[in-house]
Chain A
Amino acid sequence: MLNYIWAGLIIFSLLFAVSSDLRDYATDEFQNGAEIGIELIIPENTPLQRRTAVQFRITAGPDASPEVYRAEWFPSEDQAELIIPVTEALPAHWRKVAQFQDARDLTQLRALVVQRESGAAAVTAVITLPEVHLVKMRSITKAAFDMAEFAVTLAIGLIGIMALWLGLMKIAEESGLIYKIVKVVNPVLGFLFPNVPKDHPALGAISLNLSANMLGLGNAATPLGIKAMEELQKLNPDKESATNAMCMFLTMNTASVQLVPPVTLIALLGVGVAELFYSILITTAISLVVGVTAASYYARKFPEPPAVVPAAAAPQSES
């Protein structure tokens, strides 16, 4: 399932990017190579053979307006460029080209001067804006590389808070805080696991596992949960098929009440996680009730005879 979703994300990204780029070509979204007539306003006695600050006005094309923009005249051996800083004042189309151009610096537009004529009062010229190709293809590639890099810096950044939290939780574990919770959990269990004898070690392991889960002690919970499953398996007449008690236990496990959020969430949100303690507590209480209800509904729909405690399990209940 996960394999298909994951591969689907990647393949669909590619298909979507390709179709989006083709659509850009079809509608000539970026007007690649379109020639734009401008009028250059050059300070007096300034030769255009070297870099110099100029102003210009768009005189032809859909963006023609009396507005004056600033730019830098940048001549090289056989051609000249106009380096235009991107500001809010530029026409919308120009800003869009700047945003999606394939250049290192997106805060400027390097327009190529294809033709220039010096008149008496002003210099007129024709420029073309940088061409924009395959916007989405470039952006998904960039996203893949950027996110791969981000994943590592993220994980490294999470270590500090996770270390703090797991250190505290280890103290909670060693000091036996878990047994405080066990006291609350225990009385309910007999009612939820009618087929498990009251003095069977399975109930002890179940309540320890559920308590560890409630405190967010994932590492301590898993071995306890496996222990609980092994105990339940001893009561199972058909060793390949799950019992009602096992299904109930796993439902309670996946829908466990969370007194403490998972450590990764705490690390991701930092101090901001405090607000979520309550929302998570309430939500998990609701999902636990629903889960237990569902499991007991199924248990009643598919009843099974009360388990016979195997002789081998009896001495273990004292240990």
Chain B
Amino acid sequence: MQILSILVLPLIIVAIPLYGLIKKVRVYEVFVEGAKEGFQIGVRIIPYLVAILFAIGMFRASGALEMLIGLLDPVLALVGFPAEVLPMAIMRPLTGSGSVGVMADLIAAYGEDSFVVKVAGTMFGSTETTFYVLAVYFGAVGIRKVRYAVQAGLIADLAGVIASVAVCYWLFG
């Protein structure tokens, strides 16, 4: 497992340009074109990051987050859910760029290698900004009655949240 982990990144970094070359893609130019998007995303998420990070920063600094975690921990511990990850579980379906802020806050608070960050990272990568996706896709075709799409999406999100914790216990616990 560990060797696979080490291999996955170099494999992607080398295999994709190689595959592109075989498929006769102008790899360098296409790479640069794609890389430009990095800037756009970086700048685009700044307002979201400011909004979420300062609000969560205040909440943490006031001691309220610590108290909330302290209150919920005994309950959540019964099912093995780390209470520190709760902000991610709540924010993830609501805001994609904002949950980047939650992720950054957790990394700053608990360290990159901590179990909390692994669970939160898995959650971040596994669940989708359900409300945003629904708004964009249904909005694009003018659907107003969404029927059970929200419930089904949120059931999948909830499964993702629970599975993130379980899978992380299994792989890293």
Contacts and interface: CB of A to CB of B under 8 A. Distances in A.
A299 to B, nearest CB: 8
**Which of A6, A276, A278 has the most chain B CB within a 10 Å cutoff?**
A276
A167 to B, nearest CB: 4
A156 B5 CA distance: 27
Nearest to A231: B141
Nearest to B46: A155
B62, B90, B112, B160, most chain A CB atoms within 10 A: B62
Residues of A in contact with B, size category: 35 or more
Chain B interface residue bracket vs A:
35 or more
B133 interface: yes
B140 A226 contact: yes
B104 interface: yes
Contacts of A284: 125-126, 160
Contacts of A273: 9, 121
Interface stretch (A38-46, A60-68, A258-266): A258-266
Dominant SS among interface residues on chain B: helix
Contact of A294 (B49, B61, B151): B151
A264 B99 CA distance: 10
Interface string A140-162: 10111111101110111011111
A171 B16 contact: yes
B172 to A, nearest CB: 7
**Chain A binding site: helix, strand, loop or mixed by DSSP?**
helix
Contacts of A229: 137-138, 140-141
B61 A139 contact: yes
B53 A269 contact: no
Given A167-B30, A264-B45, 19 more contacts: A10-B59, A16-B63, A152-B46, A154-B104, A156-B42, A165-B38, A166-B35, A167-B31, A167-B32, A170-B35, A171-B27, A172-B19, A240-B144, A241-B145, A251-B152, A271-B9, A283-B123, A283-B164, A287-B159
